[in-house]
Structure 1
């Protein structure tokens, strides 16, 4: 079963957003009432990596058990609020990883993680058959060693799969466990390195080069379409009934960008999905699959309603959190808010690093690496205090954001927008937001922090008929649901317009 949802609730209703990250997961209850979304945490849990069958893998069985617990908890929370339970469920997660589901519904082997080393050198080998420039022209996706394309090319299980086996990306695999239906959601499919740029179709040339049969994949489903209903025996076991499961922007960044609280005059929308890493770019109507974009390291990921997220993945608060971890391992007690407050008052523009330097990708003594890499802009030799070091990191990040957003605009041939929207956990970092406004010379709008869950809930609500199916309606709903903070460039801003 798939297709549009039937006309849905006209009054308050509750939906469950299953949101899986690479280190943790959660089930959120979204209550939509009087033109606003209220988010309530139902259940949070750890996401664990383990070595199984010789590969670094996700414990999908543990995730599934936690998800079931979370759905029951979300249902109970809805009842407490006087609602009749859940009206629907949506699932989003990280990208690129997949489960192999046999014809009988049993999983074939483990869900191998993108951090596993099986893809080492695979991209280079595949480039001998189909050059990287050709891959980008066909798909618009930057070549990353963990792309699903390279994982499948390295997967020695494919040669012996039972007929009828399907490769389902992680949120699609959860959808299968919920409903028994096999589908491939388009926003996540776009990240695989195999989907034709701007199309709802696999690239035959890419699949042929990798030796992957198109029959391995399930039919496509778009955000807002109904995947199916919760299996009767599962719904009875969880006490939630046969609830519709609606496809959302199942790549978490797709849901997060959907919840950017932009207005129509903001087009094209400039955004940063900010957390451990920062995804910075533009929301466009069509991909930018030029060789210049390829050389610059940008990628084109599918968004909700046929949009394209033209973006680059750059360093984020990882450098700060890893520095704090080093200091705490040395016995110091560090409070992030206190550290940021101290960084805000120390003199600025004294040091710089390149946050994209590969030396910062791996964990371990990051504070020492930042100090050693810091380039003095004046007479000081290196950052001597944690506050000075964090100030160096944040100023360097802000300048990187400036350079990458300006590059995105040049490549897309659009003017620099009047404002930049920062969503996700990093939107709470007032110092970084102000430094970014100063560097770019444009306004920064910070929030919402819970963008992924809001986007997940909003697309479900639209599918249920509770949100108008018209341009800008979801973003209007988000703006009505959250408090935003604005940061205008100070008089010393460095932006170029």
Structure 2
């Protein structure tokens, strides 16, 4: 790999997005951030939407920035969060804005759906973790609402696929993003008719499912002219941001688990086949699509959402803490004074996270955090112990021994939490890269262009390009006692 390739990634999260240039040369990758922009939920008449047109404009702004710099890119890839989708009309126009997964219209949808098809049947087909906002239940809720957009839809596109469609005019469903919907059959990797028949819907609503690395088409001439670029190929990367992030794990073999750490923490392993059985059903583990024929067997955990919501409240009270200050405050606070179950329903979207944490501690007979540092320490201790709880369950069903935990994403920069996690789980934590999603997006483009041939070759390039930090376990007896305390609290 000696020639120099320039690859453009759009990486969209639920609160912000970025366009990034990847420079791939001599077996190494470098990233350059081009633009950064907010992604906000719009509330209209009590319903919550994403502004897909604003996101498309942001995508074009990134391409215009490239053109202004005189850079000629080789390809484009787009990744976003999962489950949300857009309805497309017969004439190809979008039927309004996509609903946000944070819209409460899916409350009660699971229970109503299971009256038609049992929870176990759904899991046995899809292997997907049950969450209220999964696309399956969004469609069920839309049908119950008598949605005019659903009635008029010829096709349904997930968010990254919709943005690629606006670029290219080509409609497809990328496999990893489609797998988050809880509509895809985990074995044949196609939309499952039985799940849609409950709502009198047809799999024909969804375009062809394609695998990561496939070139969808070139940027339409009108868009290329507007942005000042050539008709560049658009490649279906792992459209789900976590799937792209997992690609960037700099692993040397298969004996690892990963933790994609951000607003959500996603912990899992990479397998060759789905793991769907009574045990994984009881544990509510998910089998989502990966790259190069892999399955991402994982569990969603509430992550930095807890701290992010507390920070918002502190800022309103005139207290703005930098991240180094937060880490220092936590490090100086007494450990294990108060612990919470991060996935408790009371923390999903409370009016006040600080009050929710206080109420949980009071309910479970623990000291209520009185100082900000105690709240932060409570969150970090609880996350590290929750990771231990999930990793233990993961090891029970994994087809291989887990010898390392790779922490990727923004949370990989939290050295204190990384050390606490290593202490809790008793195996080394390898932290980095923090820009995992963008790196994965770009390297899948490289696969699509034939610059690298396999997932292992991708990871060879990534190991050659980043310098992860390793955290070895310490204080094992202290953390073992804390874990017993944690289990007693979450089981109350």
Which TM class, normalised by the smaller chain length? over 0.9
Distance 1:231 1:53, change over 3 A: farther
Say which of 137, 157, 171 aligns to 2:148: 157
CA distance in 1, matches of 2:257, 2:289: 15
Say which of 233, 237, 245 aligns to 2:226: 237
1:308 is aligned to: 295
> How far apart are residue 373 of structure 1 and its match?
2.7
SS in 2 for 1:344: helix
Say which of 230, 234, 246 aligns to 1:257: 246
Length-normalised TM-score, structure 2 = 0.92
> How far apart are residue 151 of structure 1 and its match?
1.5
1:15 is aligned to: 7
Greater CA drift, 404-413 or 456-465:
404-413
> How far apart are residue 116 of structure 1 and its match?
1.7
Q: 1:198-252, CA deviations, whole angstroms, 9 ceiling, x for partnerless residues?
A: 3221212112123221111101111111000001121111111110001100000
Distance 1:445 1:377, change over 3 A: farther
Q: 1:172-217, CA deviations, whole angstroms, 9 ceiling, x for partnerless residues?
A: 0011111111110000111111100132212121121232211111
1:5 is aligned to: none
8 Å Cα contact 2:260/2:408 also seen in 1: yes
CA distance in 2, matches of 1:386, 1:368: 12
Say which of 125, 128, 136 aligns to 2:115: 128
SS in 2 for 1:325: helix
CA distance in 1, matches of 2:107, 2:13: 23
8 Å Cα contact 2:447/2:454 also seen in 1: no
2:155 is aligned to: 166
CA distance in 2, matches of 1:282, 1:192: 20
> How far apart are residue 51 of structure 1 and its match?
2.6
Say which of 377, 392, 396 aligns to 1:406: 392
Distance 1:376 1:182, change over 3 A: closer
CA RMSD for the aligned pairs? 2.1
8 Å Cα contact 1:89/1:245 also seen in 2: yes
Distance 1:346 1:110, change over 3 A: closer
CA distance in 2, matches of 1:212, 1:254: 28
2:175 is aligned to: 186
1:61 corresponds to 2:50? no
Say which of 456, 460, 463 aligns to 1:479: 463
> How far apart are residue 262 of structure 1 and its match?
0.8
Q: 1:11-68, CA deviations, whole angstroms, 9 ceiling, x for partnerless residues?
A: 1111110111111111111111121111111111111211346521111111111110
CA distance in 1, matches of 2:315, 2:187: 46
CA distance in 2, matches of 1:239, 1:50: 30
1:276 corresponds to 2:263? yes
Say which of 324, 335, 360 aligns to 1:348: 335
Greater CA drift, 53-62 or 276-285:
53-62
Q: Following TM superposition, where does structure 1 have runs of at least 4 consecutive aligned residues deviating by more than 6 angstroms?
A: 375-378
Q: 1:144-177, CA deviations, whole angstroms, 9 ceiling, x for partnerless residues?
A: 1111111122222366326xx2101000001111
- Name structure 2 gaps, 5 residues minimum: 484-492
Say which of 305, 322, 332 aligns to 1:335: 322
2:422 is aligned to: 437
Say which of 281, 290, 300 aligns to 1:294: 281
CA distance in 2, matches of 1:320, 1:279: 16
Q: 1:83-115, CA deviations, whole angstroms, 9 ceiling, x for partnerless residues?
A: x51100001111111111123221112211112
Distance 1:154 1:368, change over 3 A: closer
- Name structure 1 gaps, 5 residues minimum: 1-8
